Amino acid sequence: MMLRIPQVLTPEQVRRCRQLLDAADWSDGRATAGHLAAQVKHNRQLGDDQPAAREIGELVLQALGRHPLFVSAALPLKVLPPRFNRYEGGGHYGPHVDAAVFSVPGTPHRIRSDLSATLFFSEPHEYEGGELTVQDHFGPHSAKLAAGDLVLYPGTSLHHVTPVTRGVRLAAFFWVQSLVRDDSQRSLMFELDTAIQQLARDTPGHPALDRLTGVYHNLLRQWANT
């Protein structure tokens, strides 16, 4: 499932992030890539120790925790602190699959990458190219979203970023270990939760709400990996 999650950040938060990112010290993105990924990765990245990375990362994590659509779709157990990249002058990232497990910087902990996420800081009209293209069983799907919006997709997906031929594309990227590891099960949970919420809005007090909510939590109890 590839899902757009709108307005993770407010316009004011996006402006603050842009100020920090525009003034930041960027380095070659290949430094953080594995052997194969380094051959197709052509962008710049913000070091994890940069003050801007820490400030924006904390802001993003707090915003994610407050966003009901993200929580419903991802069922997050752990979220890797966001990283930040910059594409310009033909920069791109060729087809690749993200690593299965990531270490949390400065800790002994690791996160399984059930879900990948990209949060956009640049508006689509500010640059040409730069589409995130994700391949699934039904073919390729592209995303180039408004600043403050996020795209969420399975970490198992083959994906790439097309060359940025004009302007600058700024984004955060990170990974989520979900309570529900299996993507098909997680998608069913999301569909069920969405239907329950719609029924609650359209028909408050409907007797089926309690039963459906019980089914949701019993499925979560059965499928959750903690």
**At which residue do the structure tokens 């600043």 appear?**
147
- Give the C-alpha separation, 181 to 187, whole Å: 11
* Binding-site entries for Fe cation: 96, 98, 159
219, 182 contact by CB (below 8 A): no
If you write DSSP's letter for every residue of the chain in order, what string do you get? --EEE--SS-HHHHHHHHHHHHTS-EEEGGGGS-HHHHTTEE-EEE-TTSHHHHHHHHHHHHHHHH-HHHHHHH-EEEEPPPEEEEEETT-EEEEE---SEEEPTTSS-EEE-SEEEEEE-S-GGGEEE--EEEEETTEEEEE-PPTT-EEEEETT-EEEE--EEEEEEEEEEEEEEESS--HHHHHHHHHHHHHHHHHHHHSTT-THHHHHHHHHHHHHHHH---
* Binding-site entries for 2-oxoglutarate: 169
* Binding-site entries: 96, 98, 159, 169
- Give the C-alpha separation, 206 to 198, whole Å: 11
Tell me how crowded residue 74 is: count the other CB atoms within 10 A of its CB. Answer: 24
